[in-house]
């Protein structure tokens, strides 16, 4: 399967600072990327969907001004958590897909553990 990477794999930041997480599809062109958040012992919660070159579509309850998503190329999407607070501490996972290839499979990154102190 296709390979998706995330960077960093974990990050600790102070409350009020911003953190950027990168998601890269290494061996295919991802026309669509998804961002999820997962709290301990819970399922993945979809935060937003981004298509290359257009604005992200956010799920209800997700603040678009707090979670900035940029999908500037077919291989890179970034999630910036602005003015992070302890309640933003979570496991953030991205996935990449190219439904134009006839499959609706998502290729997931390894995740980024964010801890806000």
Where does this chain bind other proteins (CB under 8 A)?
A: 1, 4, 6, 32, 34, 36, 43-46, 49, 57, 91, 93, 95, 99, 103-111, 113
In this complex, which beta carbon is closest to other proteins, that of residue 51 or of residue 82? 51
Q: Where do we find the tokens 């607070």?
A: 85
Least distance in Å: CB of 16 to other proteins?
26
Nearest approach, Cβ of residue 24 and other proteins (Å): 13
* Number of C-beta neighbours around residue 115 at 10 A: 14
Cβ closest to other proteins, residue 16 vs residue 26: 26
The dihedrals phi and psi of 105, each to the nearest 5 degrees, come to -75, 135
* Smallest distance, other proteins to C-beta of residue 52, A: 13
Contact criterion met (CB below 8 Å) for 40 and 6: no
d(C-alpha 66, C-alpha 80), whole Å? 8
Q: Token pair for residue 78?
A: 């970034």
Nearer to other proteins, 75 or 95 (CB): 95
| In the complex, minimum distance from the CB of residue 83 to other proteins, in angstroms, rounded to a whole number | 25
The Cα 56–Cα 58 span in angstroms is: 6
């Amino acid at each position: 399967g296709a390979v998706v990477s995330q960077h960093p794999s974990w990050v600790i930041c102070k409350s009020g600072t911003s953190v950027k997480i990168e998601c890269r599809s290494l061996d295919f062109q991802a026309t669509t990327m998804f961002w999820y958040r997962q709290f301990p012992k819970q399922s993945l919660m979809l935060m937003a969907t981004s298509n290359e070159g257009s604005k992200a579509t956010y799920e209800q309850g997700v603040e678009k001004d707090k979670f900035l998503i940029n999908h500037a190329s077919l291989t890179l999407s970034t999630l910036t958590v602005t003015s992070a607070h302890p309640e933003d501490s979570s496991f953030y996972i991205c996935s990449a897909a190219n439904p134009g290839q006839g499959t609706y499979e998502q290729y997931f990154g390894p995740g980024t553990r964010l801890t806000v102190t």
